[in-house]
């Protein structure tokens, strides 16, 4: 008898649980319309959620028909006082699963996603809470007899992250919607990191949408600039600061520390003329906190670690490192834990040949004069390849399946990183561009999403992006069904 069956035999109240072959995590994408569409495809789908990190789901759907489809996997852990209760769950003592998940390197950092009441608990309480979440996940997945879980994005809050890790350890199939090179389409990645897609689409003619994307990325930055940056920069100065204060929930410390951080960056940045006198590799920082660095960055979720690794390798090869901040750092919610008052000083202290770039400068000029471009998982990786520059990815990047030495990834130590950099820097720029273009044409048909032609960056909006990504999710459910 296997572990799951023995646990079910020992669970006296197992008949209270409805079985679901497929469970879906929608998280921030949860809406009545999307839930209706998914239930229309398969009426026996459950929607997984957390009471500890509820994403406002229970307030929105309380006393509605949707509650019967929502599975609150950690029910009972969150008390009215805001503390976390140790869950007393009999059985389900799979110690190998508990040990493996408890030792996951991302757990300590994911506590930073909670509000201060929970975030400020002590280490012992955190350990008990993580243990309770693991036990709750084991019980829910086994008692519900879940066969497959589909995540609408990589989980980056602690409870759902733990749920996914438990599912993988229990050999339950997980499918995760992942960012692709195409903003209007998404990859679907299985637990073994293979791409789940409709193989019947392979070999189709080259998509017009891919050609539009390539042309945009190879154009001037004003054309390639992400649509959300264009929207922000249209605002006048008064509207911009009012919007920034509102985004930061009228939190004066966040607002003023953001302004102070920007002032620090400006004071430590150097002129481009000085930069262009050196051979350099540019490193594009990413906005934090976000999924793209935690958990997608792995050990490099703290970008200072990636910068130290890159500088150590690049300086030995005769290159400087130029660091460019992400504009959203000062135009969105400012997190002073990830951008402390000393953050940019710490970068400067890494070495004599590491420099900070001014945010007011054109990033495409920086790329075009670089020997190579590095980032954790950013879209700049694709942009650099399409501009003929090698790209160095420190995290779980969106260029899945790209098989050319111009993309440097999956290195295990500095020696391997340096060897891969040397190979990449010898590749002809035209070859890099051709390989990136060929990859995009092949990868397009391994993604899910909007079937109509890409509308172009200038016509994109957050509302359209949300619709496109919901369509991708529904495409995966249809494929499973």
DSSP string, 147-182: -EEEESS---SHHHHHHHHHHHHTT-EEEEEEE-SS
**Helix, strand, coil percentages in the chain from 3-state DSSP, rounded to 5:** 50, 10, 40
- How far apart (Å, rounded) are the C-alpha atoms in residues 384 and 374? 9
DSSP 229-277: HHHHHTS-HHHHHHHHHHHTTT-HHHHHHHHHHHHHHHHHB--HHHHTT
Reported as a single tens digit per residue, the pLDDT across 288-313 is 999 999 999 999 999 999 999 999 99
The token pair at 269 is 């940045």
H or E segment to which residue 432 belongs: helix 429-443
Q: Are strands 70-72 and 45-49 parallel, antiparallel or unpaired?
A: parallel
Q: What is the pLDDT of residue 453?
A: 76
Rg of the chain's alpha carbons, rounded to an integer?
23
Comparing C-alpha atoms, which of 141, 48, 59 is closest to residue 101? 141
49, 106, 172, 59: CA torsion to nearest 10: 0
Fill in the DSSP letter of residue 14: G
- DSSP code per residue over 186-241: EEEEETTSPBP--GGGTTPPPPHHHHHHHHHHTS-HHHHS-HHHHHHHTS-HHHHH
Phi/psi at 255 (nearest 5 deg)? -60, -50
The two structure tokens encoding residue 159: 């409870």
Between β-strands 320-324 and 280-284, what pairing exists: parallel, antiparallel or unpaired? Answer: parallel
β pairing state of 45-49 and 448-449: unpaired
Which CA distances in Å does 431 have to 181, 386, 388?
A: 19, 10, 8
User: Mean pLDDT per 10-residue run, the chain (481 residues)?
Assistant: 43 58 96 95 95 84 88 79 76 95 96 80 90 95 97 97 98 97 95 88 75 94 81 67 80 88 96 96 97 96 98 98 96 91 97 97 97 97 98 98 97 97 98 97 91 83 91 96 87
Nearest alpha carbon to residue 216 among 207, 230, 226: 226
SS3 assignment for 342-390: CHHHHHHCCCCCEEECCCCCCHHHHHHCCCEEEECCCCHHHHHHHCCCC
Predicted confidence at residue 113, as pLDDT, reads: 87
**d(Cα 284, Cα 327) in Å, to the nearest integer?**
10
Confidence at residue 398, expressed as pLDDT on a 0 to 100 scale: 97
Task: Please count the other Cβ atoms lying within 10 Å of the Cβ belonging to residue 203.
Answer: 8
- Other Cβ atoms less than 10 A from the Cβ of 300: the count is 21
Tell me, what's the pLDDT at 202? 67
Q: What is the pLDDT of residue 5?
A: 44
Closest CA relative to residue 302, chosen from 254, 251, 338: 338
Query: What 3-state DSSP class applies to 418?
Result: helix
15 forms beta bridges with none
Closest CA to 149 of 77, 49, 57, 55: 49
Other CB atoms closer than 10 Å to residue 81's CB: what's the count? 8
- Give me the pLDDT at residue 134, please: 96
Quote the pLDDT of residue 408. 98
**Axis crossing angle, helix 95-102 with helix 158-169, rounded to the nearest 10:** 140
Q: From CA 95, how far away is CA 134, in angstroms rounded?
A: 10
Mind listing the pLDDT tens digit for each residue in 38-85? 999 999 999 999 988 988 887 788 878 899 999 999 987 865 666 777
């Amino acid at each position: 008898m296997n572990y799951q069956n023995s646990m079910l035999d020992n669970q006296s109240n197992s008949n209270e649980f409805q079985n679901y072959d497929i469970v879906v995590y929608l998280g921030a994408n949860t809406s009545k319309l999307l839930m209706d569409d998914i239930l229309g495809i398969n009426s026996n789908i459950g929607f997984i959620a957390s009471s500890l990190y509820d994403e406002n789901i229970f307030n929105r759907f309380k006393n509605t028909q949707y509650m019967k489809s929502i599975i609150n996997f950690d029910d009972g852990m969150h008390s009215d006082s805001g503390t976390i209760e140790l869950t007393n769950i009999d059985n389900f003592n799979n110690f190998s699963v508990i040990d493996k998940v408890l030792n996951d390197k991302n757990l300590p950092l994911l506590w930073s996603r909670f509000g201060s009441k929970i975030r400020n608990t002590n280490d012992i309480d955190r350990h008990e809470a993580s243990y309770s979440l693991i036990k709750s996940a084991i019980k829910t997945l086994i008692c519900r007899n879940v066969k497959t879980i589909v995540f609408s994005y990589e989980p980056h809050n602690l409870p759902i992250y733990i749920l996914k890790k438990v599912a993988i350890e229990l050999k339950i199939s997980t499918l995760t919607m992942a960012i692709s090179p195409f903003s209007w389409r998404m990859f679907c990645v299985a637990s073994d990191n293979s791409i789940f897609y409709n193989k019947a689409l392979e070999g189709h003619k080259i998509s017009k949408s891919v050609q539009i994307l390539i042309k945009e990325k190879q154009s001037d930055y004003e054309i390639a600039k992400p649509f959300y940056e264009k929207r922000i920069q249209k605002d006048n100065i008064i509207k911009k600061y009012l919007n920034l204060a509102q985004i930061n929930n009228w939190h004066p410390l966040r607002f003023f520390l953001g302004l102070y951080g920007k002032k620090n960056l400006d004071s430590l940045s150097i002129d481009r003329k000085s930069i262009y006198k050196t051979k350099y590799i540019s490193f594009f920082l990413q906005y934090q906190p976000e999924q793209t660095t935690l958990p997608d960055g792995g050990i490099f979720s703290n970008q200072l670690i990636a910068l130290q690794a890159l500088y150590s390798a690049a300086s030995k090869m005769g290159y400087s490192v130029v660091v460019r901040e992400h504009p959203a750092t000062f135009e969105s919610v400012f997190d002073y834990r990830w951008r402390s008052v000393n953050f940019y000083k710490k970068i400067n202290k890494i070495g004599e040949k590491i420099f900070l770039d001014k945010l007011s400068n054109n990033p495409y000029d920086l790329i075009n004069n670089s020997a190579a471009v590095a980032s954790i998982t950013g879209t700049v990786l694709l942009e650099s390849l399409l501009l003929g520059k090698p790209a160095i990815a420190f995290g779980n990047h969106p260029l899945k399946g790209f098989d050319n030495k111009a993309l440097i990834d999956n290195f295990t130590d500095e020696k391997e990183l340096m060897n891969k950099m040397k190979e990449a820097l010898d590749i002809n720029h035209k070859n890099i561009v051709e390989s990136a273009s060929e990859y995009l044409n092949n990868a397009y048909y391994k993604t899910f999403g909007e079937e109509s032609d890409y509308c172009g960056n200038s016509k994109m909006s957050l509302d359209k992006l949300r619709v496109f990504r919901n369509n991708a999710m529904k495409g995966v459910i249809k494929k499973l069904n």
